[in-house]
Amino acid sequence: MNLLNAYREKDVIVRAGNVADLIALVGRISLKNMEAVELIGIPADIELLSQLDEHVEVDLVLQDGERELTRLEALRESGVAEDIQIVVPVAPGFGEAAKLACRLGYPVKLNIGALDLLDVEENLDLVNFYLHTPDLEEPLEFFHSFAQALFNEEALTMWDIMDENPAEVRYITDQGNEVLSRRLTHMPVTGDMSDFLDRRKLQLLRERGECSQCRFFVNCNGYFKLPNPEFSCDGVKRIFGTLKEAVKKLQEDVDKFYDEFEEGPEKG
């Protein structure tokens, strides 16, 4: 938030630790360039959000999923901050926080950080929860957009879904350094990034490594090979595969529906 002056001409997502600071900020700068706000943790003054006159999208980034579960429930019951997305960092135990946020009716986004914390079984459990809980009304990202891209055969990538495509979005550290993304803070932005993904795809294909053989390459673009190119994607491909299988079944159902619709009602 302290670095805003340097980015007055850009569209920005502002990080704030409490709502009072945010309200003071909104009093000082125009909101027209503020795309969204990230509140880090559930601040003690969260109820002040209702004093924010201007509409601004709010991402609430959980810091300690388990400890914040009860606060999340209380938040929903209070009716404050209805229009927010809950961001759940992927770390051991994250699944319960994500499930509760989904059940409470919030849109949820997983925040992928260190890949050694990516528990595949917990992710698969969450994918299955998302696919097989019929009364969920809001998306759980990245699962939702990835499945939608498969269904529509779109070339939407994990970099876009996670808001990490450097052609569009940069992350500014608390020290003011412009880096590729929140999870890639050691990778500074250098030169023109508009074709970052094209260059990266070419490099991965030339290397003929795991990505070049991967059936999810079109929608992943090597997202999980940074920061560690040696990271094994066996687990990630199981997660993507579960989504793919669900999309295949959905496509079969849709095709069947249209076939029956075209044939018309059976005559008895």
Q: Which parts of 171-210 interact with ligand SF4 (CB under 6 A)?
A: 210
Find out whether 243 and 127 touch, Cβ atoms under 8 Å: yes
d(CA 110, CA 142): 7
Q: How far is CA 28 from CA 35, 45, 59, in A?
A: 16, 20, 21
The distance of closest approach from Cβ of residue 182 to ligand SF4 in the complex, given in angstroms and rounded to an integer, is: 18
Q: Which helix (H) or strand (E) holds 70?
A: helix 65-78
Q: Which residue from 12, 211, 246, 247 is in contact with ligand SF4, where contact means CB under 6 A?
A: 211
d(CA 171, CA 179): 5
Q: Which residue from 216, 243, 244, 246 is in contact with ligand SF4, where contact means CB under 6 A?
A: 216
What is the Rg, in whole angstroms, of the alpha carbon atoms belonging to the chain? 21
Find out whether 62 and 42 touch, Cβ atoms under 8 Å: yes
The distance of closest approach from Cβ of residue 227 to ligand SF4 in the complex, given in angstroms and rounded to an integer, is: 12
Q: Which residue from 58, 149, 214, 246 is in contact with ligand SF4, where contact means CB under 6 A?
A: 214
Report the residue number, 111 or 221, with the smaller CB distance to ligand SF4: 221
Q: How many residues bind ligand SF4 (CB under 6 A)?
A: 13
The neighbour count for residue 126, using CB atoms within 10 Å, is 24
d(CA 89, CA 93): 10
Dihedral sign, Cα of residue 162, residue 166, residue 170, residue 176 = positive
Q: Partners of 58 in the beta sheet?
A: 37, 84
Q: Which residue from 99, 110, 223, 246 is in contact with ligand SF4, where contact means CB under 6 A?
A: 223
The distance of closest approach from Cβ of residue 118 to ligand SF4 in the complex, given in angstroms and rounded to an integer, is: 11
The distance of closest approach from Cβ of residue 238 to ligand SF4 in the complex, given in angstroms and rounded to an integer, is: 10
Residue 45 phi, psi (nearest 5): -100, 30
243 is an interface residue for ligand SF4 by CB under 6 A: no
233 is an interface residue for ligand SF4 by CB under 6 A: yes
Report the residue number, 60 or 115, with the smaller CB distance to ligand SF4: 115
Report the residue number, 38 or 210, with the smaller CB distance to ligand SF4: 210
Report the residue number, 42 or 158, with the smaller CB distance to ligand SF4: 158
Q: Which residue from 7, 129, 151, 217 is in contact with ligand SF4, where contact means CB under 6 A?
A: 217
In the complex, which residues of this chain contact ligand SF4 (CB under 6 A)? 210-211, 214, 216-217, 220, 222-225, 233, 236-237
